[in-house]
Structure 1
């Protein structure tokens, strides 16, 4: 009987370890504003600072801070140019950013499925 309890305990432990866990979410991606930025960039090849500001409904300051955080993580690439005297900032998703975004979506999907099974 003791061997069976150990076997059941082991399978319960493996099941628990296999479950998606919220604490394993990428904190860089999980922020609401950064998630919105990544989602917008995943749907477009490039977007300007102004485009992202309009899409996310955020302020210049907030957008700058969150875009920089994504840049620092290697998830977003930023290119600054000038059109005459007008500065233009363009953002695009890096390969690492696309992988992180897709991993995040897969993790969220698994969390949702695990929760709905109960």
Structure 2
């Protein structure tokens, strides 16, 4: 059976939602993530830094073909370690929510 582990880093509400949104996709645009979470750039950046420092999230910048200017899009993705940690954390939450008495 897969590991079950409560993860304090992922558990913070915004970080839990970030991981939940990134889990089913290969990558997501910073702006889309920010708007979906209804947080500021600074708030999202702070939480992404924590996740990146833990090895859970990566980011890469790419030029957008749809733009005429030089602005770049920041793409975010869960790493393999991030996916594993998120899945283990969700299992831990499920165990907490459905205790065997």
TM-score (normalizing by structure 2): 0.85
Q: Which stretches in structure 2 are left out of the alignment for 5+ residues?
A: none
Note the C-alpha offset of 1:55: 1.3
Say which SS state the counterpart of residue 52 (structure 1) adopts: helix
Bigger helix share = 1
Residue segments in structure 1 that go unaligned for 5+ positions in a row: 1-19
Query: Max radius of gyration: which structure?
Result: 1
Root-mean-square deviation (CA, aligned residues, Å) is 1.6
Is 1:107 the counterpart of 2:56 in the alignment? no
TM-score between the two structures when normalised by the length of structure 1: 0.74
Q: Secondary structure at the match of 1:44?
A: coil
Residue from 30, 43, 49 that aligns with 1:68: 49
* Equivalent residue pairs, number: 94
Q: Partners in 2 of 1:82 and 1:63 — Cα distance?
A: 21
Q: CA deviation at 1:58?
A: 0.8
